[in-house]
Structure 1
Amino acid sequence: MNRIRKFTNFSVRDLLASAGPTVLAIAAICVAAYLIVDPAPPRKVVLGTGQDNSAYDVFGKKYAAALKGEKIAVTLQPSHGSRENLRLLKEGKVDIAFMQSGTTDEAAVEREGLVSLGSLFIEPVWLFLREAPGKAPLTQLTQLRGMKINIGAKGSGAPRLFRQILDVNGVAATDLQVSQLDNTPATVELLEGRVDGMVFAAAPDDPLIQMLLQTPGIYLFDFTQAEAYTRRLPFLTHVTLPRGIVDLGRDIPARDYHLIAPTATLVAREDLHPALIELYVQAAAKIHGGAGWFSQQGQFPSAKYTEIPVAEEAAKFYKDGPPFLQRYMSFWLANFLDRMWVLVVALGALILPLSKVVPPLYVWRIRSRIYRWYGQLRSVEQALEEVPKDAPPEHRRDVGKVQLARLNDIEDCVNQISVPLSFADDLYGLRSHIQFVRQRILGQSPELQHESTVIAE
């Protein structure tokens, strides 16, 4: 029964041996393409954020959590804000960072090789001032002359932005007593009365802003000329802080406030892997896509409100949504197939001719087991043909005896050959030819007939 099982309709082992070189060649091409054609996205990325407990810091942690789900490790690099983040991007110390619109200009961005991934949320300019007994709240920025104002931490975007705002009002920074403390110590200074006011440029999610909006003795400056500011400084927008938005029950604030606002933008080095840009933009849509104090549902992220050219992959997302494959597959699988599509087309053209090579190789491998014994049969016949016609009968008998034993060994080996049933006719043809050569030996030396019979028995 075991012997019969050797004879099958198909030989998997021979097929694998025949197709093996072709499969290995294709696999080698795939591996080479995977490593060379378009490198895989890195699994680590550095994100420039902001000061502790700032909106940039809070959102940075959300991005890290979102990308961790896709097996991307995000290292958060704290900073003082937009200006420092711009420097870190230029120096290559971060791959991507939060920046405020107006921090730089398009010409400088192109020189430094930076691209925008879109604007994320509105960052109003918050000018908080201490109430002065017996004095009405300030209504013009020109009234700030001589006052102690913290205009934002060094390295943040607020100082540059506020200086631009002062410039359009005809006020020089030297007209004020300026300090540049970090937000937390500046808040302490304001509450203790050691400064008259402080400037933020941050999202309303910032805990310090939430606190100051509800602190007695502290009021928010109302930019009643907000629309004019947007004409003079195009990167600004006019937004309204609605009455009661902080606390409806306590009616905080007690009226609407007009504010001017740049937008927070994700800025990356232009050599950041395209797949990571796509992943960041998708994360941005989940993190910033909801309604907020100053934005409607789906307004952000957006390719608008930024002076920095938007990356091609990000612009495509804002127009068409996420890539087709990533809608139905994991990030890494979709990215692999997206990178390999050129190779798949090339392999399709390569596999077709290779598939025509494998069947003949398979047939040759099976038949070679049989055909190699024909060489042995031919050597037996040549040994018989080399015996001279006038040789003594004893010599002819000795040669025949040797070749007969050799032929018997050949037959034993042939009986052990295992081939698929479709090649059985070749095997039986070989056996009949062995018998033909045996009859030829016996025909030349009839006296060996008895020995052949004894051996067979």
Structure 2
Amino acid sequence: MPKIKFTLISTKDALFAFGPIVLMVIAVLFAAYYFVDPAPGKTLDFSAGQENSAYEGFAKQYAEELAKNQITVRVHKSQGSQENLRQISDSESNIDIGFVQSGSTNQADAEANGLTSLGSLFYEPIWIFYRGKKELANLRELKGQRINLGPDGYGVRRLFQQILEVNNLEENDVHIQQLESTPATVAFIEGKVDVLVMSSASDSLLVQMLLQTPGVKLFDFVQAEAYTRRFPFLSHVLLPRGIVNMGKDIPSRDYHLISPTATLVAHESLHPALISLFLQAAKKIHGGANWFSRQGEFPSDRFTEIAVEPQAEKFYKNGPPFLQRYLSFWMSNFLERMWVLLIAFGALALPLSKIIPPLYVWRVRSRIYRWYGQLRSVEHTLDDATPKQRKQIAQEQLQRLNEIEMKVNHISIPLSYAEELYGLRSHIQFVRKRIVDGE
């Protein structure tokens, strides 16, 4: 006789009752996890700038920071701000994010192109380098000069056209050249270019070299404050005396400069979870003091004409999301997305809590109750027998009862339902006694 295992619950019946429901819940949660709020991608495309430019250098630092969270940032070279703006706006370019100089667009066009700002990162002063014994007092003195503004993709060209206009000059009044930064600097040193106009952070090696090159002068924007009133996207910054080289007293006096800011611009399709990650990297890369900004001044939600993304605004007000302060990016993102799953699970939990227990009880008891049908069949067969058939039928039904009893003795049910089992066995004895007494 096989050994019967006594348990508090029936695993088989529990699986039968809970299994389909659990699978349904898993399917709902799976759909919620992957379709209601998709996980961020692990590869991004970043439009930076020219080779060896400050933009390219910063973009590589972002790639290093995001790589710590298993996110690959592919850095793409470009001609500069204007080209970055076009590529981020173009859905076919697959560029997710890039550097754009303030003043390169306006809010209406940015919204139409699906652009959003993550904030401004650093000042990019307008550097106007020239040669000559006499210092320029006004930009009108540039009339007739050979001026290099860089290729069309440069942000400085659009800005310098506006500067010429407020100084009552037109492009035809000067000779515009479009060399890239490095060859333009070489041409300037060789005297093939009269004026070199650049817009770059103080990290630029070319700017630092030109500031220390004998015979090269820097234009002083003595009307800097007036420029900022005419162009709200510009800031008045000061190049302090001796900041380049204190020992050599370079520069030998303070210089007033006008400066747009480099902003981090993304397409609106950028996953919200990545915005906080980029801003944490921005704080580490641009948060220190430099020639023009104080400690902690950048990144900032100011100095940008493109509307700042709401998730970025939350970062500026409250810092990184709570979970990201203590957990890895992917773990915190998973837990934040779990709220969706908890809502989905909560919507199912209450009705399921009322359905599953009765289903389990029915499943266990059905293994006992179905034998009552057999007992009723035995009684009906005996009741329908004629007096002549009764003895033979009684013997047949006794044999049938023995078979039923043997099978019932092998039923394995949880101990909590043993009362029903022993009740069935007593009812078998009751039917047997009735048959025997009726014979």
TM-score when normalising by structure 1: 0.89
**What letter matches 2:135 in structure 1?**
P
In structure 2, distance between residues paired with 1:55 and 1:13: 67
Residue 323 of structure 1 is matched in structure 2 by 321
Residue 336 of structure 2 is matched in structure 1 by 338
Aligned-partner SS, 2:69 = coil
CA deviation profile, 1:102-145 (whole Å, cap 9, x unmatched): 11122322332322111111001111223x3xx22333222222
Question: 301-310 vs 164-173, which deviates more?
Answer: 164-173
Matches within 5 A, 1:89-128: 89-92=88-91, 93=93, 94-128=95-129
The answer to whether the aligner puts 1:350 opposite 2:348 as a matched pair is: yes
Residue 400 of structure 1 is matched in structure 2 by 394
Matches within 5 A, 1:52-67: 52-67=51-66
Q: Please say if residues 6 and 415 of structure 2, whose CA atoms lie closer than 8 Å, have aligned partners that are also in contact.
A: yes
Cα distance, 1:181 vs structure 2: 1.0
Q: 2:216 aligns with which of 215, 218, 232?
A: 218
Q: 2:404 aligns with which of 392, 403, 410?
A: 410
Aligned-partner SS, 1:436 = helix
**What letter matches 2:172 in structure 1?**
T
Q: Please say if residues 122 and 264 of structure 1, whose CA atoms lie closer than 8 Å, have aligned partners that are also in contact.
A: yes
Q: Please say if residues 150 and 181 of structure 2, whose CA atoms lie closer than 8 Å, have aligned partners that are also in contact.
A: yes
Cα distance, 1:400 vs structure 2: 3.2
**What letter matches 1:351 in structure 2?**
A
- 1:309–1:184: structure 2 CA closer, same or farther, 3 Å change rule? same
Residue 418 of structure 2 is matched in structure 1 by 424
**What letter matches 1:206 in structure 2?**
S
Residue 269 of structure 2 is matched in structure 1 by 271
**What letter matches 1:287 in structure 2?**
I
Matches within 5 A, 1:33-432: 33-92=32-91, 93=93, 94-130=95-131, 132=132, 135-391=133-389, 396-432=390-426
Q: Please say if residues 153 and 183 of structure 1, whose CA atoms lie closer than 8 Å, have aligned partners that are also in contact.
A: no
Cα distance, 1:72 vs structure 2: 2.7
Q: Please say if residues 18 and 362 of structure 1, whose CA atoms lie closer than 8 Å, have aligned partners that are also in contact.
A: yes
Consecutive unaligned residues in structure 2, runs of 5 or more: none
Cα distance, 1:37 vs structure 2: 2.5
In structure 2, distance between residues paired with 1:324 and 1:176: 55
In structure 1, distance between residues paired with 2:381 and 2:68: 77
Q: Please say if residues 28 and 344 of structure 2, whose CA atoms lie closer than 8 Å, have aligned partners that are also in contact.
A: no
Cα distance, 1:50 vs structure 2: 0.8
In structure 1, distance between residues paired with 2:402 and 2:281: 78
TM-score when normalising by structure 2: 0.92
Cα distance, 1:339 vs structure 2: 3.8
Cα distance, 1:160 vs structure 2: 1.1
Select the structure of larger CA radius of gyration.
1
Residue 452 of structure 1 is matched in structure 2 by none
Aligned-partner SS, 1:45 = strand
Consecutive unaligned residues in structure 1, runs of 5 or more: 446-457
Cα distance, 1:268 vs structure 2: 1.8
Cα distance, 1:428 vs structure 2: 1.0
Residue 450 of structure 1 is matched in structure 2 by none
Aligned-partner SS, 1:118 = strand
Aligned-partner SS, 2:159 = helix
Number of residue equivalences: 437
Q: Please say if residues 32 and 344 of structure 2, whose CA atoms lie closer than 8 Å, have aligned partners that are also in contact.
A: no
Question: 358-367 vs 375-384, which deviates more?
Answer: 375-384
In structure 1, distance between residues paired with 2:15 and 2:282: 49
Q: Please say if residues 41 and 275 of structure 1, whose CA atoms lie closer than 8 Å, have aligned partners that are also in contact.
A: yes
CA deviation profile, 1:141-168 (whole Å, cap 9, x unmatched): 2222222221122211011111211222
Cα distance, 1:266 vs structure 2: 1.2
**What letter matches 2:297 in structure 1?**
Q
**What letter matches 1:423 in structure 2?**
Y
Question: 200-209 vs 212-221, which deviates more?
Answer: 212-221
Residue 17 of structure 1 is matched in structure 2 by 16
In structure 1, distance between residues paired with 2:350 and 2:203: 60
Cα distance, 1:349 vs structure 2: 4.3
Q: Please say if residues 272 and 311 of structure 2, whose CA atoms lie closer than 8 Å, have aligned partners that are also in contact.
A: yes
CA deviation profile, 1:410-440 (whole Å, cap 9, x unmatched): 2222122112211111111111222222333
In structure 1, distance between residues paired with 2:28 and 2:391: 62
Cα distance, 1:235 vs structure 2: 1.2
The percent identity for this pair of structures is: 59
Cα distance, 1:387 vs structure 2: 1.9
Cα distance, 1:61 vs structure 2: 1.2
Aligned-partner SS, 2:55 = helix
Cα distance, 1:98 vs structure 2: 0.7
Aligned-partner SS, 2:388 = coil
Q: Please say if residues 45 and 95 of structure 1, whose CA atoms lie closer than 8 Å, have aligned partners that are also in contact.
A: yes
Q: Please say if residues 154 and 181 of structure 1, whose CA atoms lie closer than 8 Å, have aligned partners that are also in contact.
A: no
CA deviation profile, 1:190-244 (whole Å, cap 9, x unmatched): 2222212211111111222222222233232222222222122221111111222
CA deviation profile, 1:11-56 (whole Å, cap 9, x unmatched): 3443333222222222222122223323333333222111111111
CA deviation profile, 1:272-325 (whole Å, cap 9, x unmatched): 332233332232222212222111111111111111111111112112222233
